[in-house]
Every structure is written in structure tokens, then in C-alpha cells.
Amino acid sequence: MPAEKDEAKEPRARPRLIIFMASFLVSHSTLFSVVCCIAGLIALLLLPILAKSTYISENALMPGSANPVFSGQDVSEASRLVKDITETQKMGKTTGIEIQRLIIQRMADVGAEVYYHKFQSQSNQFHPFRFFSCDSNSAVTESNSNTSNGLNTVGIIRAPRGDGKEAIVLVTPYNSEYVKLNDALSLGLGFSIFSHLSRVSWLAKDILWLAADSRYGEYSSVSAWLKDYHNPVFFSSENVDANVTHDKDFLNMENKNMLNGRNVDVFKRAGTMAAAMVFKVGEAMERDPRDILTIYAEASNGQMPNLDLINVVHYLAVHRQGFRVNIGKLASLVNSAWLNLVGQILEWLGNLAKNLNPKWNFGISSADYAEGAATVASSMYHQALGVPTGSHGAFRDYQVDAITFSFSSRFYLNNENMQSSFILRGG
């Protein structure tokens, strides 16, 4: 508007104005940068208010029409496995692979193709730039240098009428050396989902269940498996020797690696991975009256999966199962006085605005604000840090959308199981 006015008034001033403004900006650069910086910070603080709630297009995915199909039978199966695992644990360690053997037996019983995946734990270092270098030779040298072994258990359900081009991966990490109750529960949960899916006939994609041996960290076991899935090393001459010499623990298993007449050491595949979900049952939290489902999504270098995946899970968890959904947040921030103060100011401002015009509805309560700010902060922190927040990070390196859910409840409830079954259907 002013420019127009100027133009009408004195047409010659127009080029001069631009130069004038530019020189003005340059001469007051410090002031302007401070102003911009403050504006940015204010915008950041306002983010939780301005955030719109996400939604999923019902036309495309129809999560609303998903039905719970989990039955009491599945739950009893899960609890049976949990009981077995805890009993094995009590009996004392014999070979270190009792649990793996138990799981694989159960998987074979429901009619899945099973195999063990032996891996050598890599150094826990995180390489942010490994994503860019497609050097498969480095993997060989790396695994030679390290001697600790882990054993993943993998089961595959072939979709009865599918063509086997795609697969969905379920992962349940557990510590095989010392299985705590929540690890056992997550295994039970994983198994009951798996056995349920093995009985249904509507599957279009194959289902892979990876019971990841996370005694050397959740990330390394999953990434080792993924590496073997995507970039297998065929020249194994040196590695085999290395394996045999270091394999004191596994000698026992070598003899018994035939199950129901099938070789369980052969690596099997099931097509291109479409999505992956990591299930965990977290520590019990007494604080909240409702069961909590926490979603972790950040992968290495701040990559995020398709938002639909998060939204579908969120939708089903909140609207169908009455879960309380957290998307990873910095707990310390929630209670910080300073944030609450900002929240209160904003709340007051919001109320004022609401009074001025009822349509200006941007006020939120200070507690909500603090929570939102904590979520934003944690998301920013994890994305900036570039370190994956869970084993789903390994999938993102291979361009597979993956998230981790961590359930935590006061009691072990049935609807937890139902919940996960939903998520599968929706996805």
C-alpha cells in the first residue's frame, strides 16, 4: 500500500526506496537480527498453541472401521508363553539359548517358517554418515573384529493368498541373558499377535516376527538382521571359521538345528518390507490412571516415518482403546516452572482473545501447553541429535517406515493385546 502511494506520488523515488530500505537494513543489521531471533523464539513458544491436531483421511485408510479381533484365547496363549519364559528363567541358565528355542518351537507350532539368525554384535557406536556410504566391505572387517554373538529368532507367516512381494515386520526386543517380566510380556504379546495372524485368511502381506536378542542393545540386533536381509555377504569363508572358533555357546545348538525336519539356520526372506513395528512393554508406571502407549518415531539423522503410520496408531489407540498416547517428550520439561509460567501467560492471553471474539479460540490450558512444549522440545532434540530413539531406527536406514510403541500399564491387561491387533489391521 505505501509503495503504491509513493508510486503515485513520486514515481522517481521507487528505485531509490529499495536501495534505501536495503541500506537501512544493513546499517541496523544487529537490531534486525535480534528482532528476528526474538520473533523466532516467540513463534517457537507459540507452536504448541498453533499446532493443529493431525488427522487421517478416512477415505484412504479407514482405521475407523477396524474391529478388535483379539480373543481371550490369544491372551491365554500369550500368558502361557510368559509363564514358560519365566519358568525357564527360574530354572537357571544352561546354554543361554533356552528362550530362543522355546520361541522357535512355538512359532513352528503355529505353522510359520522359522530360523535363527546369528549375529555378531557391532560396536555400539553410532555412525551418522554410514547411511551415505554404501560400502559393504566395511561390514566384513567390522564383524571380524568383534566376537560377541547374539541370536535372533525369526518367524515368517506367508500370507495364504498373497503373492509374497511385501512383508510387515514385527519386532519384540528382549534381553536374552536376563528376561525381566516386561520383556517376557512383550514376547508374549508379540507371539499372540503372531499366532493370531497365522490363523487369519485375510492377510495380503507376509508377516515377519523378529524376536530380537537385545543383550547388546536393541539397535544392533535389529540392524544386524536388516543388514543380512538387505546386504547379505556371500563370501563367508573367513567368517565361518571365526564363527566356529568363537561359538562355544552355540555348539550345543549346532547339533540340534533341525526342527521338524527343517533346517532352521537358513536365512529366509519375505519380499520387500513395507512397514515395521516394534513392540515393547515398558516399566509399569503408577502415576497415570490410564494405560500409556508411547510412540517413538525418530530415526537416525532425524528421519521420520510416514506420518500416517503414527496417526493411525494414535487414532486407534485413543479412540478405540482408551489409551493415553505419548509421543516421546522430555519429562523434565513438563514440570518446569518457567514453561508453566509461559503457559499461564498464554492461557490468559487466549482467554482474553476469546472474550474479545468467541471465534478466536487459540487458548489452551497451561498444563496442555507445557505438555505440548515438552513434546516439541523432545522431537526437536532427537531430530537434531540424529540418534535413533529405538530399534525402529535401523529400519529407516533401509527406507522402511517404522515406529516403536512402548506400552506401560499398571496391570497386564487384555486390551493391550487387542490394541496391538488393531494397529496391525489399521496398518
When asked if residue 11 is in the footprint of other proteins (CB under 8 A), the reply is yes
CB of 139 to other proteins, least distance (A): 13
Number of residues that bind other proteins (CB under 8 A): 37
Which cell numbers hold the place of 414?
487384555
255-259 LR contacts (CB < 8 Å, sep 24+) = 257/116, 259/104, 259/105, 259/108, 259/114
CB atoms within 10 A of CB 109: 12
Q: Which residues contact 240 (CB under 8 A, 6 or more apart)?
A: none
Would you say 161 or 248 has its CB closer to other proteins? 161
When asked if residue 269 is in the footprint of other proteins (CB under 8 A), the reply is yes
- Strands 149-157 and 206-213 come out as antiparallel
In this structure, are residues 204 and 159 in contact, taking their beta carbons and an 8 Å threshold? yes
Q: Taking contact as CB under 8 A, which single stretch among the options 47-55, 267-275, 370-378, 405-413 is the one that binds other proteins? A: 267-275
Considering only residues 189 through 218, tell me which ones interact with other proteins, judged by CB under 8 A. Answer: 201
CB of 77 to other proteins, least distance (A): 13
What would the x/- binding string for other proteins be over residues 313 to 352, using CB under 8 A?
Answer: ----------------------------------------
CB of 133 to other proteins, least distance (A): 12
User: Which member of 26, 60, 91, 134 binds other proteins (CB under 8 A)?
Assistant: 134
When asked if residue 128 is in the footprint of other proteins (CB under 8 A), the reply is no
> Can you list the positions of beta strands (E) in 190-343?
206-213, 258-259, 262-263, 272-281, 292-296, 324-327
In this structure, are residues 186 and 79 in contact, taking their beta carbons and an 8 Å threshold? no
When asked if residue 1 is in the footprint of other proteins (CB under 8 A), the reply is yes
Grid coordinates 502415576 are at which residue?
287
In angstroms, the CA 119 to CA 98 distance is 17
When asked if residue 129 is in the footprint of other proteins (CB under 8 A), the reply is no
Would you say 199 or 290 has its CB closer to other proteins? 199
**Whose CA is closest to 225, among 100, 121, 98?**
121
CB atoms within 10 A of CB 370: 25
User: Which member of 68, 96, 217, 271 binds other proteins (CB under 8 A)?
Assistant: 271
When asked if residue 111 is in the footprint of other proteins (CB under 8 A), the reply is yes
When asked if residue 234 is in the footprint of other proteins (CB under 8 A), the reply is yes
Q: Taking contact as CB under 8 A, which single stretch among the options 23-31, 139-147, 155-163, 334-342 is the one that binds other proteins? A: 155-163
Looking at residue 31, its amino acid is L
Considering only residues 61 through 80, tell me which ones interact with other proteins, judged by CB under 8 A. Answer: none
In angstroms, the CA 106 to CA 149 distance is 23
In this structure, are residues 173 and 212 in contact, taking their beta carbons and an 8 Å threshold? yes
> Can you list the positions of beta strands (E) in 162-205?
166-174
When asked if residue 261 is in the footprint of other proteins (CB under 8 A), the reply is yes
When asked if residue 5 is in the footprint of other proteins (CB under 8 A), the reply is yes
When asked if residue 266 is in the footprint of other proteins (CB under 8 A), the reply is yes
Which cell numbers hold the place of 186?
512383550
User: Which member of 61, 108, 146, 166 binds other proteins (CB under 8 A)?
Assistant: 166
In angstroms, the CA 32 to CA 152 distance is 57
When asked if residue 60 is in the footprint of other proteins (CB under 8 A), the reply is no
CB of 8 to other proteins, least distance (A): 6
User: Which member of 16, 127, 230, 290 binds other proteins (CB under 8 A)?
Assistant: 230
When asked if residue 236 is in the footprint of other proteins (CB under 8 A), the reply is yes
Report, in angstroms and rounded to the nearest whole number, the Rg of the chain calculated over CA atoms: 27
Grid coordinates 502407549 are at which residue?
293
User: Which member of 165, 256, 290, 319 binds other proteins (CB under 8 A)?
Assistant: 165
User: Which member of 129, 356, 359, 411 binds other proteins (CB under 8 A)?
Assistant: 356
- First vs last C-alpha separation in the chain: 51
Bridge partners of 228, per DSSP, are none
User: Which member of 68, 162, 282, 302 binds other proteins (CB under 8 A)?
Assistant: 162
- Annotate 310-342 with three-state secondary structure: HHHHHHHHHHHCCCEEEECCCHHHHCCHHHHHH
Interface contacts to other proteins, rule CB under 8 A: 1, 5, 8-11, 111, 134, 158, 160-166, 201, 230-232, 234-237, 240, 261-262, 266, 269, 271-272, 355-357, 397-399
